[in-house]
Amino acid sequence: MSESGDHHIQVQINCSYVESQSDPMHGRFVFAYTVTLRNLGKQGARLVSRHWIIHDSNGKVQEVRGEGVVGEQPHLDPGQGFQYTSGAMIETPVGTMHGTYQMVADDGTRFEAVIPTFTLSVPRVLH
C-alpha cells in the first residue's frame, strides 16, 4: 500500500472531552473526535475500512477495526472533503489515538491514509 501524488488523503482531528457521558470515579472518560478528510490526490478514492489504536495512560491498548466510518464508505473526488464525528472511551484521564484508513483509488490502487496521533485529555490535566 502506498501514498503518492495520485493518492493522498489529508486527515485532521479535533478532539474534546465529553464530561456529561464520563464517570471519572469509575474509570470512564469519554471523548468525541471530529475527523476531516480531504483528498489532495489526483484521483478519487473510497474509504473502505479503518484501524484505530487507542492507548490509555495505564498502558492499556485497544484496537478497533471495521468497515468504513459511521456506517459509510465515503468516496472523495480530488479536492473533496468528508467530515464525521465519533467517540472513544478510555479508563484514564489522558490517552492517545492513531491509526489508518484503508482506501481504494478509482484506478484500483489500495493505499493507506495515516491518522496522526492525537491526545485524549480531560481539560486542565495536561499543562
The C-alpha cell at 85 is 464525528
Rounded to the nearest integer, the mean pLDDT of the chain is 94
Residue count of the chain: 127
pLDDT at 100: 98
CA atoms within 13 A on the CB side of 97: 25
Q: Taking the model in full, what pTM does it have?
A: 0.90
pLDDT at 126: 64
pLDDT at 4: 53
Q: What is the pLDDT of residues 39-87, one digit of tens each?
A: 999 999 999 999 999 999 999 999 999 999 999 999 999 999 999 999 9
Q: How confident is the model at residue 2 (pLDDT cuts 50, 70, 90)?
A: very low
- Whether residue 115 contacts residue 99, with contact meaning beta carbons closer than 8 Å, is answered with yes
